Amino acid sequence: MKFEVNTNLNIKTLKKTIIGWGLILTVVITIFTVLLVKESDYKKVNATIVSIGKHRAGGHNSNTQIATAYDYTYKDIKYEDILYSNTKIGKIVGKNLVMYCDPDKPGQLKNDADAWVYMFFIAFSLGMELIMFKIYRLKNEDIKREKKRTDENDK
């Protein structure tokens, strides 16, 4: 696959874009790391889906989310928690799942889906950073070739 360099690109703008994506990547990785450290103490629990319904967080114009209620036991105490998502895929009333509960707030469940969202943003940001860096290198090479051609023509 051959890249064509848009010679109208301003090198300063390209540098700012690379720095911007680098900062976004740094922030996302930092947030992900903090969440992983915080959630490393979470305990596995066996949860059962007891109901699935629809939930509208805001007024009548807001998006409808899927509200899934789970029953689970932690340290011989029964709990119920509701998690919200955008899809009903894989959710069936009566289905047993392994979930994670915060030992400091055992009434709150967590699933693994959140980690995948953060990993997607890290991969996307890293990909954008690499693409921008490649464009920057190609642009720099194009500028050097043009300068060399101009210098040779001046002789």
Cα separation, 129 vs 10, in Å, equals: 17
Bridge partners (DSSP) of residue 80 are 71
Cα separation, 7 vs 14, in Å, equals: 12
> In the chain, which residues have pLDDT < 70?
1-9, 36-40, 57-62, 112-118, 155
> Where do the domains of the chain lie?
11-36+116-148, 43-102
Give one DSSP letter per residue of 101-142, joined into a string: EETTEEEEEE-THHHHHHHHHHHHHHHHHHHHHHHHHHHHHH
DSSP code, position 63: P
pLDDT of res. 8: 62
CA distances (Å), origin 139, targets 3, 14, 17, 105: 11, 9, 14, 53
pLDDT of res. 5: 55
pLDDT of res. 42: 80
